[in-house]
Amino acid sequence: MSARTFYGQALANRLLLGTAQYPSPAILADAVKQSAVDMVTVSLRRESGAQRAGQAFWQLIKELGVSVLPNTAGCHTVKEAVTTAHMAREVFGTKSIKLEVIGEDDTLQPDVFGLVEAARILTDDGFEVWPYTTQDLIVGGKLLDAGCEVLMPWGAPIGSGQGLNDVFGLRAMRAHFPDVPLVVDAGLGLPSHASQAMELGYDAVLLNTAVAKAGDPVAMAIAFADATRAGQAAHQAGPMEVRDMAEPSTPVMGKAFLL
Amino acid sequence: MSARTFYGQALANRLLLGTAQYPSPAILADAVKQSAVDMVTVSLRRESGAQRAGQAFWQLIKELGVSVLPNTAGCHTVKEAVTTAHMAREVFGTKSIKLEVIGEDDTLQPDVFGLVEAARILTDDGFEVWPYTTQDLIVGGKLLDAGCEVLMPWGAPIGSGQGLNDVFGLRAMRAHFPDVPLVVDAGLGLPSHASQAMELGYDAVLLNTAVAKAGDPVAMAIAFADATRAGQAAHQAGPMEVRDMAEPSTPVMGKAFLL
Amino acid sequence: MSARTFYGQALANRLLLGTAQYPSPAILADAVKQSAVDMVTVSLRRESGAQRAGQAFWQLIKELGVSVLPNTAGCHTVKEAVTTAHMAREVFGTKSIKLEVIGEDDTLQPDVFGLVEAARILTDDGFEVWPYTTQDLIVGGKLLDAGCEVLMPWGAPIGSGQGLNDVFGLRAMRAHFPDVPLVVDAGLGLPSHASQAMELGYDAVLLNTAVAKAGDPVAMAIAFADATRAGQAAHQAGPMEVRDMAEPSTPVMGKAFLL
Amino acid sequence: MSARTFYGQALANRLLLGTAQYPSPAILADAVKQSAVDMVTVSLRRESGAQRAGQAFWQLIKELGVSVLPNTAGCHTVKEAVTTAHMAREVFGTKSIKLEVIGEDDTLQPDVFGLVEAARILTDDGFEVWPYTTQDLIVGGKLLDAGCEVLMPWGAPIGSGQGLNDVFGLRAMRAHFPDVPLVVDAGLGLPSHASQAMELGYDAVLLNTAVAKAGDPVAMAIAFADATRAGQAAHQAGPMEVRDMAEPSTPVMGKAFLL
Amino acid sequence: MRVVLNGEDREIEAATLAEALEALDYADAIVATAVNGEFVPHDQRGETTIKEGDAIEVLAPMQGG
Amino acid sequence: MRVVLNGEDREIEAATLAEALEALDYADAIVATAVNGEFVPHDQRGETTIKEGDAIEVLAPMQGG
Amino acid sequence: MRVVLNGEDREIEAATLAEALEALDYADAIVATAVNGEFVPHDQRGETTIKEGDAIEVLAPMQGG
Amino acid sequence: MRVVLNGEDREIEAATLAEALEALDYADAIVATAVNGEFVPHDQRGETTIKEGDAIEVLAPMQGG
């Protein structure tokens, strides 16, 4: 397995799973358990003193015994994101934060300017920032300068399920940051997308909708875990060289003459 | 798992593996065992009374305890293919035959005319024919008429590792033959290709070079088995609907106001 | 321009246009004139003695002064196709025939078995057969053996507008038949598809729906003619070599030092 | 033709051509004339008092009677780019500047941070800035805020000839900036790439290497001009709707019964 | 006599295909003909006899792709 | 006193954020708090005074992607 | 007697294919056989006569894709 | 006096950039100039003094993409 760690954490399972949009908490829990993921993303939302939905959810997550990666989903400004991160650190008791600073609502594309600024503020404040970013190499460099030790370029718009829209960009990013843990975050729809990302040399994939909105989320979670492991193993095993034309697999020598 | 069987045989592992081109017999054996494949392809070649290479190979395969699918690799005529099939049936003690009638040597494309004719002769003679064919729907129909109960369209030229060159054709074939076991045979290079084939609804994938020529064939065999299972599970679980634009996975409702 | 001729006919304009589905005869005529096509496809249909729609259409076509290529559209059997070809030869006064033997109605894929048989019968009978076929190299070879001097593989299903679904297959066909005039027939939806086909070294493209069903068929016909010519010219001019990474176009040498 | 203008300039020919890397000045001149481009890009480099290569080049360009768009190619800092722009304005007598602030040398990807800053400085100083940028929507917005009236996202790395690496990104950008003139700048290798960009609704394409490094640059320049016009016309004419399956173009009604 | 013209029943009096075409208003029309699925060239219409129930196809140029 | 709790007007009697949380039934709940857009850490709730019209955000763990 | 074994000339003394296989050291080997391009099943090897110049193919299991 | 012209050392006698350009054979050439990284417009060359070690950039139109 890739020696790369994520802020010192060696994730055995390179599939990171979101916790939203599941048909039920039970199905979420089952998906997490059966896919054996090590880390899930969570968020912070307004709690009602009466219903206390969040308390129940948090109880459920804690019982799963996985690491949590709180996000700043929906934040459009540096201040919102930074404040949310602080609140998350207190509630979830982790300095890990999936930093989202959204710049556009149709694509949920990150605002790379706000992202870099927020990343600097948060790393200075002791956070371990997992930035949701683009394939932009310069942005990536600035995030590293800001202290990030992981980069999470998008594969496609959040929740779109389109897969890897810019394979060239992802490949260039991998080549440009050979030693940085890279996670494809968002946009994956099928296990083959996860395999492909890992075959490109990525260190992990993070997804939510493709599992939660599948007909059978538990089966799909397992499928993504298998495909992620498969892609990672393939990258490490060293794939064959692609050929333009055919080459017989069965030996030609020794073929009988039967005309 | 898909209810479809292959001539009555329910393959638990939908990865079928070729046995050629491995660095050593030991590595072949290890790849077969660790990927837990149920069926491997083999061929017939000239045996020297002195060296008897074939005897040793056959011993190895028998000890693996998997079903064997002999091929007619390299045959360019109906007669060659039919004679080879008969010889294979006697030696391997199976009526299963992977029927290849090669029509062109740069692509190793099947000769669909010879293929249909040979398929008819062999099924009439009691064989269970696994035809290596194209995505041609009419050819597929004739092969079924000839008695074939499985169709094996190519993904790309044998040994090229290009993956699925004609996704439309594969999709059309799946739609046109909803009840026929379909196997993508040849051309796959990466686990993501296997996942993709299964996600399209194919029932199995058959490959050789991608595993045998990998830097670590055993690890790659396991990776392909995982990816194949993942793609099959995804197809059955029911993937999410692809969206043109983004949709937040984290709920928007309840988001804090922190400006 | 490619030296290749089509049964001795050197087409200046390598866009061949279908005549069906236009908003009006006037628009059809305008599209043909303004795109300056040299050859159009036509068909035979039942004529009512009272209305005589066909007489008017034929008058229109004759006035356009272009060559006509009658088709056997909709024929599913060899006999139908052959009889239709004979009737077309008498009415249109040409031995050219676009041979379609349809094998499947969802894709309108050719029945390559019937196609080869009908091609043989018709060439023996003095026809110049333009066969609508697949990318199958063996089928192509049999069509040439049958006397065809042109091959017309499909790009995608008729009227689908999907473009080139199997670029590998088209490329392999071009490489396998270096001296045969090859026409991509059917499935194109955009001018870039026509350019791409010609860039692959094809000698012409034949389409109908993409022009007839465009918002402005005349403008679209001109666009396809331009794109076809562009792709052909590019193939002959010799394209640059694709590079994996960037290379400055503006000279680096002599750059000022302005820090 | 699209009503959009480029800083008030209505370009009849939407192909913008670079002037570097041609086999000879005569071939450059011929390419520009025969493709009838209205605007070419140029640069500034060190001049030797003895050789005065620049004087001859400038004479050549002036005689072509086209508008010039000077670039800041190779500049890696805001200061370099701004100073170069000022020098270009004086020498070329135009306030148009193709603003390049390069952030990474393998991909020649723009540094979007420096780009936005330099764009603001230059527009404040009366320049008409044509920024070479990415598909990043937020960056695009900031460039518009800075006063840019044109955006030029890259198709692929400069000089790579790969075509449109991120079609989704280009489509999203077109949708997000419906009223802004958008130019695909860099990375195109074939006329079909130019057609495709224009079919996506882009207003122009800018390229250099694909023409200059072609076997026959003049023929290739004409091909790109044709393809660009074709793609633009197609976008305006309104393309057919793509269909999943086939639809007969030749009418089914009235088909003869000849069995 | 009843014949099937392009798929529809028609009553005509005609001994030959040529006469049938006259009777069916094709007179001078540019058409190709088949009887019972067999092509009948223009110059054989006169000697091609038509009998009760014959299926006559009369085709003309039409739009095609 | 009127405050805005998670976007909704509420009447409470409370001098500090800690008291406000009591009054608003959060007692022992695991939540993070902000007042007027500024994060208020748990151990500062007691000394954080609340005045008429303050906007209080009380957040808890929730599903996220 | 000269025969062609798997493409190579060989000198053997044998009346039948079975004897030929013995003479060619295949004795107990698991092989399939063809003579002059025709498959000869195992149980027919004894009655299959071999003559000067016959092409004998002796095949065994081998790696295949 | 030694100056750096387009990256190369040159010996010239000149008080101003205008004189330097003369001395360096640019006389009537269409060029843009910078001294020590700062753009010097055409009409300021006469009043721009040059001193030992100044880096002078003299640029002209060139091929560009």
Indicate contact of C with G: 3+ CB pairs under 8 A: no
- β-sheet bridge partners, residue E38: E35
Q: What is the pLDDT of residues B151-182, one digit of tens each?
A: 999 999 999 999 999 999 999 999 999 999 99
CB contact under 8 A, B137 and C165: no
| Contacts B120 to C, Cβ<8 Å | none
Give the B window 10-69 contacts with G, CB below 8 Å: 18-22, 28, 41-50, 52-55, 57-58, 61
- pLDDT for res D2: 53
3-state secondary structure A190-233: CHHHHHHHHHCCCCEEEECHHHHCCCCHHHHHHHHHHHHHHHHH
**pLDDT of B60 over the 90 cut:** yes
CB contact under 8 A, B22 and G38: no
How far is E32 from chain C, CA to nearest CA, in Å? Answer: 5
- pLDDT for res C259: 75
Which letter, b or e, does each residue of C237-251 get, where b requires 16 or more Cβ atoms within 10 Å of its Cβ? bebbeebebbbbbbb
Q: Which of C98, C142, C213, C255 is catalytic?
A: C98
Question: Within 10 Å of residue G15's Cβ, how many Cβ atoms?
Answer: 13
Nearest beta carbon to residue C250 from set H55, H57, H63: H63
| Contacts A254 to G, Cβ<8 Å | 6, 62
CA-based nearest residue in chain H for residue D80: H37
CA-based nearest residue in chain G for residue A252: G64
Nearest beta carbon to residue H39 from set D41, D73, D86: D86
CB contact under 8 A, C57 and E31: no
D219 closest CA partner among D31, D20, D38 = D31
| Contacts A134 to D, Cβ<8 Å | 134, 136
Task: List the catalytic residues of D.
Answer: 98
Q: What is the DSSP letter of F43?
A: G
Cα separation, H33 vs H57, whole angstroms: 6
Give the A window 115-134 contacts with B, CB below 8 Å: none
Q: What is the pLDDT of residues D152-211, one digit of tens each?
A: 999 999 999 999 999 999 999 999 999 999 999 999 999 999 999 999 999 999 999 999
Give me the average pLDDT of each 10-residue run along chain H (65 residues). Answer: 94 94 91 96 96 95 95
- pLDDT for res C1: 44
| Contacts A212 to B, Cβ<8 Å | 249
CB contact under 8 A, E64 and D249: yes
> CB under 8 Å to E53, separation ≥6 — which residues?
E2, E3, E4
How far is H32 from chain C, CA to nearest CA, in Å? Answer: 11
**pLDDT of B1 over the 50 cut:** no
Does A13 contact chain D (CB < 8 Å)?
A: no
D174: left (phi over 0), alpha (psi -120 to 50) or beta: alpha
Q: What is the mean pLDDT of residues D115-140?
A: 98
**pLDDT of B217 over the 90 cut:** yes
CB contact under 8 A, C248 and H65: yes
* Residues of G engaging A, defined by a Cβ cutoff of 8 Å: 6-7, 34, 37, 55, 57, 59, 62-65
Indicate contact of F with C: 3+ CB pairs under 8 A: no
Q: Is C95 a catalytic residue?
A: no
CB contact under 8 A, C165 and B166: yes
Report DSSP letters for A18-44, one per residue: E--S-S-HHHHHHHHHHHT-SEEEEEE
| Contacts F55 to A, Cβ<8 Å | none
CA-based nearest residue in chain D for residue H32: D87
| Contacts B160 to A, Cβ<8 Å | 242-247
F62 closest CA partner among B22, D116, A79, A22 = A22
How far is B194 from chain C, CA to nearest CA, in Å? Answer: 19
Answer yes or no: are the C-beta atoms of C202 and D215 closer than 8 Å: no
Cα separation, C16 vs C68, whole angstroms: 10
> CB under 8 Å to C86, separation ≥6 — which residues?
C125, E32, E39, E41
Q: What is the pLDDT of residues C185-200, one digit of tens each?
A: 999 999 999 999 999 9
How far is A141 from chain B, CA to nearest CA, in Å? Answer: 26
CA-based nearest residue in chain F for residue B254: F6
| Contacts A77 to B, Cβ<8 Å | 259
Does A87 contact chain F (CB < 8 Å)?
A: yes
For A259, counting Cβ atoms within 10 Å of its Cβ (0-12 exposed, 13-18 middle, 19+ buried), the class is exposed
| Contacts H65 to C, Cβ<8 Å | 248-250
**pLDDT of B4 over the 90 cut:** no
* The token pair that represents C135 in the structure block: 């990318």
H helices of A146-190, where? 167-176
Q: What is the DSSP letter of A151?
A: B
* The token pair that represents D18 in the structure block: 């670079």
Task: List the catalytic residues of B.
Answer: 98
How far is E48 from chain C, CA to nearest CA, in Å? Answer: 16
Answer yes or no: are the C-beta atoms of C74 and C48 closer than 8 Å: no
Q: What is the DSSP letter of D216?
A: S
> CB under 8 Å to D116, separation ≥6 — which residues?
D139, D142, D143, D146
Q: What is the mean pLDDT of residues E32-58?
A: 96
Nearest beta carbon to residue F37 from set B248, B251, B258: B258
Mutation pick from D249, D252, D255, D259 vs chain C, by most beta carbons of C within 10 Å, is D249
Answer yes or no: are the C-beta atoms of A221 and A32 closer than 8 Å: yes
- pLDDT for res D1: 44
Tens digit of each residue's pLDDT, chain A (259 residues): 456 899 999 999 999 999 999 999 999 999 999 999 999 999 999 999 888 999 999 999 999 999 999 999 999 999 999 999 999 999 999 999 999 999 998 899 999 999 999 999 999 999 999 999 999 999 999 999 999 999 999 999 999 999 999 999 999 999 999 999 999 999 999 999 999 999 999 999 999 999 999 999 999 999 999 999 999 999 999 999 999 888 888 888 888 888 7
Mean pLDDT for chain A overall:
95
Answer yes or no: are the C-beta atoms of A195 and A227 closer than 8 Å: yes
Cα separation, D19 vs D42, whole angstroms: 6
- pLDDT for res B2: 53
Mutation pick from E11, E39, E63 vs chain C, by most beta carbons of C within 10 Å, is E63
Q: What is the pLDDT of residues G49-60, one digit of tens each?
A: 999 999 999 999
ipTM given for this complex: 0.93
With a cut of 70, list the residues of chain C below it in pLDDT: 1-3
**pLDDT of B250 over the 90 cut:** no
CA-based nearest residue in chain A for residue D172: A107
How far is E23 from chain C, CA to nearest CA, in Å? Answer: 10
| Contacts A107 to B, Cβ<8 Å | 245-246
Beta strands in chain B (DSSP E): 15-18, 39-46, 67-70, 96-99, 102-104, 109-110, 128-133, 152-153, 183-185, 204-207
- This prediction's pTM: 0.94
- pLDDT for res G24: 92
